[in-house]
Chain A
Amino acid sequence: MNVMRRPLGLSKFRFYSTQTTRPFVPPASLNHFDFRQRQREKPRPTSPAFYTARPEFYDQLSSLESALQHAKTALTTCHLLPLPQFAREALPPRINAWVDKRELGLKLRSTLTTSRYRRVVLVLNELETYRSIAEKAGIAELQEGIRGITELFERADAATMLARGKAKPVKFDEYGRSYTLGKRKTSSARVWIVPVQQPPADKPTSQSISAATETDTALMALLDPNSSSKSNEPVSVAQILVNNTPLSTYFPIPADRTRVIHPIKLAGLLGAYNIFAIVRGGGTSGQSGALAHGIAKGLAAHEPDVATILRKAKLLRRDPRMVERKKPGLAKARKRYAWVKR
């Protein structure tokens, strides 16, 4: 029986205008009703953000903030927070690559405005900072826990984005070949470098030569400079193929050949690596310069110690000089027309 309901005739909303007081009901007749249950008839909202405009968003945000709070307390218990200024500066600077606004909106199941997106990103940045502190401190569990959260919000191509502007490491294939690209003016050279396979040395024969005879031959060589003492060790020789022709056939001019060999000579790797290259575009000197650039990059990949020498010799640098454009009023890029007095 719904006696507590408003009697008919009285409107639900116009409470103030019609009846200000409730009709009197004697308490004894209300004994068998349970008022607490009535109060709980409407279910309690699941989340505190129920009455907000975007409950899902605020739910996610609050869970992130709670995770942040947990991380903060964990770090504080480990005496890592608050971090002194010098320690904060010692942390590696991190550029974060979070998903964009649209993607984040999809993840959080609600369209985001810029201010809401910024709010989420702020929390994520803080989380990332705590993660880096934990990583530096060596707390693996905490670090992995935070990582588990932050990686959900990281871009798919985060690695590429972060590596923008940095030199890509040269990859080697299953045969140990490096693949590099060299450029000069309008020419480009694709260079594959592979170490020369040394023939297996005959170890038993070399061991059979006694020490005495070795010193004798060395002494003879010292005393008589004219004697040519050719050792039996085979000299490895590098093959250089450009567009499937030997280097001497492709570049008939000695200057071009020298330019190509120069990086190998400086590195001291003259008989060590075989080179195969495909060059395209430009003329002879451009192609030889591009090839030299590609070879230098490949050698630096194979032997990192050599990279310093090649960098000093400016062989790892792509020569930025290009053909200058012709300007109006000038005959060529710089050449002026003959000056006429009148």
Chain B
Amino acid sequence: MLSVRCQRVSYQLLASSSTSPLVQTRSYATQPKKGQIVKQASQGFKGKKTAPSGQMEPAKKDKKMMAFQPLPVSQLPHPLFESDRPDTLTLQTFHPEMLTRVVESQALKFPHNDDDPFRIFGLPRNILVEFRLLSKPCSVIRSVTIDAINKLDAASEKNSKESRVVFTGPQGCGKSFLLLQALQYCNARDWLVLYIPRATNLVNSTTAHTYDMRTRTYLQPIFAYQTLQRFLKVNTPRLEQLRTQTEIEIERRPPVPPGTPLVELINIGLKDQGHAPTVLDAVLEEIGKQTIFPVLLAVDDFQALYCKSHYRDQHFSAIKPYHLSMPRLLLEYASGQKSFARGAVFGALSMSNTTFPLPVELREALSLKYDRPYGPYVKRQPELVEYAHGLESLAVPSSLSVSEAASVFEVWMKDRAVPSKPNDELFLAKYSEASGNARAFVWKGLLSSMS
């Protein structure tokens, strides 16, 4: 029972030469621009005909974000900026072999290369701003980092069903940073990595969603396309060594025979955005079967996958996250219904997001303390309870230890980013004010005060 609007849209699409399925978008969704992804959209009753085609495009730049962009050094000639002063921040590079208890509380800089997962996959907003302020992206190795890395080493031999870990802790304690460190470690150790820096974007209705009759879920072709693109870019040398093991069926196309290189399979998805969700599913299944490389699936804002999405169906009811293709895929791997033969699934909660707060099903699955009185009469969705079953919680300590905080302080001090006089009194005062909390120490403590 299609509405009039949908019928008109369908006629117009059929009239065009595209082979893409029915697409619903919001009237205020961003217009397709040159060099960016073209959304196959017909806007409401006006029905603009846009030439739909999936184009290859470079990594998407976040232009909406009003984030801080530092001026390049060449534009700072005034002597006050001391641009000619040599960089005092000398850090060792983050190298997987050196990550032992000895390096605890030491700051290490992340390696910089073309296929860096940060550059390609993107970063959570807070961390992006922080890396722009710092002269080079770095992080402090904590005791919990070594714990996470030990878990990864153990997980590299086991099925990912047994290593589904979620980082928990109060806001600002360093869960996203820990996930970044795990990601860099796995990338350096030759794992296949797939990183979703902002899972809220999957459920907050920022991209188009289309209903698929075959899977009876809402597909998100743009996200699938982006994910495939980025996954290929970061893991190219490893993917070139892998081949499909079974025949893969893709709609409106002859099936892909077994033995096809995975890179070729991915390119099929990249050529046509409509195929991207199916191809992504197939690719993940294939890399799940192989045992040459372990796989890390890292998701930040993990709790957003369990919240009600902002997408609406034709009855204006919210679409459940497990009815959307991308969140469903991630939920299936997180719950162990699908798994990688070797690897792990890591997630990091975001406790500062008020549009996607931590739901009760996930809270109970991770055995976290309640923030408000819950009881047996609060409804828990059985599907989400099932998707959250078996998740392991790794508690990130709420406060930095003194030596870790000292390393953080040293990094900011040597980068000349602290406005106040950087002495031990400032350090202890800000540490006490923040009660050891990392974000409060850096953002509300060191960078906000001028004493």
Contact = CB atoms under 8 A, between A and B. Distances in A.
Interface string A221-251: 0000010101000110111100000111100
A185 interface: no
A228 B406 CA distance: 10
Contact of A258 (B398, B403, B425, B433): B433
A248 B433 contact: yes
A271 B444 contact: no
Contacts of B88: 226
Contacts of A257: 433-434, 444
Given A254-B448, A261-B429, A271-B428, A230 B403 contact: yes
A264 interface: yes
B429 A237 contact: no
A44 B440 CA distance: 93
Q: Kindly state the interface size class of chain B when it binds its partner.
A: 20 to 34
B410 A254 contact: no
A257 B410 CA distance: 22
A261 B449 contact: no
Nearest to A237: B402
B432 interface: yes
A88 interface: no
Interface residues of A, number: 23
Contact of A226 (B90, B428, B431, B433): B90
A265 interface: yes
A262 to B, nearest CB: 9
A163 B410 CA distance: 52
B432 A240 contact: yes
A245 to B, nearest CB: 9
Contact of B429 (A228, A230, A270): A270
A249 B432 contact: no
A254 B429 contact: no
Contacts of A271: 428, 432
Contacts of B269: none
B435 interface: yes
Interface in B417-451: 425, 428-429, 431-437, 440, 444-445, 448-449
Contacts of A247: 432-433, 435
B432 A261 contact: yes
A6 to B, nearest CB: 105
Contacts of B435: 239-240, 246-249
B410 A237 contact: no
Given A230-B406, A248-B434, A254 B445 contact: yes
Interface string A272-290: 0000000000000000000
A226 B435 CA distance: 28
B433 A261 contact: yes
Nearest to A264: B432
A153 B425 CA distance: 57
Interface of B: 88, 90, 170, 398-399, 402-403, 406, 410, 414, 425, 428-429, 431-437, 440, 444-445, 448-449
Given A235-B428, A254-B444, A270-B425, 13 more contacts: A226-B90, A228-B410, A230-B403, A235-B406, A237-B432, A246-B398, A248-B434, A248-B440, A258-B433, A261-B432, A265-B425, A270-B429, A270-B432
Q: Which 3 A-B pairs have the closest CB atoms?
A: A246-B435, A257-B433, A270-B428
28 contacts: A226-B414, A230-B403, A234-B402, A235-B406, A237-B428, A237-B431, A237-B436, A239-B435, A246-B398, A246-B399, A246-B435, A248-B433, A248-B434, A248-B435, A249-B170, A254-B433, A254-B444, A254-B445, A254-B448, A257-B444, A258-B449, A261-B429, A264-B432, A265-B425, A270-B425, A270-B428, A270-B429, A271-B428
